[in-house]
Amino acid sequence: MEGRIKEILQKALELIEDSENLENLEKIQQIRVQFLGKNGELTNVLRGMKDVAPELKPVIGKFVNQARDEITNRIETRIAELTAKSIEQKLNSESVDITLSSKRNPKGGLHPCSIVINEILGIFTQMGFQVKQGPEVETDFFNFQTLNIPKDHPAREMQDTFYINDELLLRTHTSPMQARTMISQQPPIRIVNPGKVYRPDDDATHSPMFQQIEGLVVDKGITLCDLKGILETFAKALFNENTKTRLRPSFFPFTEPSVEVDVTCAMCGGKGCRICKGTGWIEILGAGIVNPKVLENCGIDSNIYSGFAFGLGIERITMIKYGIPDMRILFDNDIRFLKQFN
């Protein structure tokens, strides 16, 4: 009988050892049933105990119990071993190679003109200006007539444009937004108007579509000094602290007097270089004291109020700021060019 028990134990341990992975868990449970279950091989040995001589019973009983304990222990340790093995296999197969270069998600960025627009609007809003935008398809009335450019007047030639019909056109400047504001609101007015504008020009420094920011201040006692002060502050903020400003006489139908504003070249600091064509100065915008006729056209009493206005081209400022030689590069949208700004 002792031999039989040893045989059973041996067989059980071998079967347990054979279970190679956790998927064999069921098999291990079957082994438990096969040997220790109700009709298990070892259980059956116990049943045969009634035929054993009484003096041998304690010895055989001890054997059976030892065999059962050993099988139970072995099953538990085997399950623990297989669990650990499976976790380790999983960790090895799922390991991340941190030296592998990652897939890059290309990051978008702002167009240099958008960077400049944001910067300029930032400077003016800090000085208390309000941003106002209007339609790109504008009426002849707001684009020209309110701004002292009557129908069929030669002054229109400065800004000839794309007409949709006799009354509608693509705006030539964002000044109509100034007229719209003055008609709908009494002073004090302090606004900047960004947006796209259209003119039939096309060469290295002109494009049929370009972007502008115009500004308007109307209040009591506004003079050319206020204009100079604001624009000087603006130029220093946009280029650098050492930037100087000068006004040259000019003409616009909607301002009187009118000026062109030059700044010392940001590239050479006024010494003269390729960008400023050796002069040390660069023209950045047109401006002036709002023509009293324009105020009256918009229902503002020019005996009480006065104002100044200015207008600048974004592409032009972007070219000056970054030393870009040809405006058309700004419209090509070549990624190699655009990447340099982010």
With binding defined as CB under 6 A, does residue 148 bind ligand PHE?
A: no
With binding defined as CB under 6 A, does residue 309 bind ligand PHE?
A: yes
Region from 57-65, 76-84, 221-229, 309-317 binding ligand PHE, contact rule CB under 6 A: 309-317
Give the pairing type, strands 189-198 and 209-219. Answer: antiparallel
Q: How far is the CB of 122 from ligand PHE (least distance, A)?
A: 20
Q: How far is the CB of 99 from ligand PHE (least distance, A)?
A: 57
Region from 81-89, 127-135, 224-232, 282-290 binding ligand PHE, contact rule CB under 6 A: 282-290
Expressed in angstroms, the distance from the first to the final Cα of the chain is 87
> Which CB sits closer to ligand PHE, 28 or 191?
191
Region from 18-26, 63-71, 162-170, 286-294 binding ligand PHE, contact rule CB under 6 A: 286-294
With binding defined as CB under 6 A, does residue 287 bind ligand PHE?
A: yes
Residue 92, CA atoms < 13 Å, CB-side half-sphere: 6
CA 264, chain centre distance (Å): 33
Instruction: Assign 3-state DSSP to the chain and report helix, strand, coil percentages, each to 5.
Output: 45, 20, 35
Return the residue of 194, 253, 270, 286 that touches ligand PHE, per CB under 6 A: 286
> Which CB sits closer to ligand PHE, 35 or 308?
308
213 CB-near residues (< 8 Å, 6+ apart)? 117, 120, 121, 124, 174, 192, 193, 194, 311, 312, 314
Q: How far is the CB of 284 from ligand PHE (least distance, A)?
A: 11
Contact between residue 198 and residue 161 where contact means Cβ atoms under 8 Å apart: yes
Q: Quick one: which of 283, 300, 282 has its CA closest to 291?
A: 300
> Which CB sits closer to ligand PHE, 112 or 286?
286
Instruction: Report whether the peptide linkage leading into residue 292 is cis, meaning its omega lies within 30 degrees of zero.
Output: no
At 98, give phi and psi (nearest 5°): -75, -5
- Report the residue closest to ligand PHE, judged by CB: 311
Region from 1-9, 12-20, 27-35, 304-312 binding ligand PHE, contact rule CB under 6 A: 304-312
Give the binding-site size for ligand PHE (rule: CB under 6 A).
11
Question: For residues 193-222, which are near ligand PHE according to CB under 6 A?
Answer: 214
Letters for 252-281 (x = contact with ligand PHE by CB under 6 A, - = none) are x--x--------------------------
At 192, give phi and psi (nearest 5°): -125, 140
Continuous segment of H or E residues that includes residue 212: strand 209-219
Residues contributing to the site for ligand PHE (CB under 6 A): 173, 175, 214, 252, 255, 286-288, 309-311
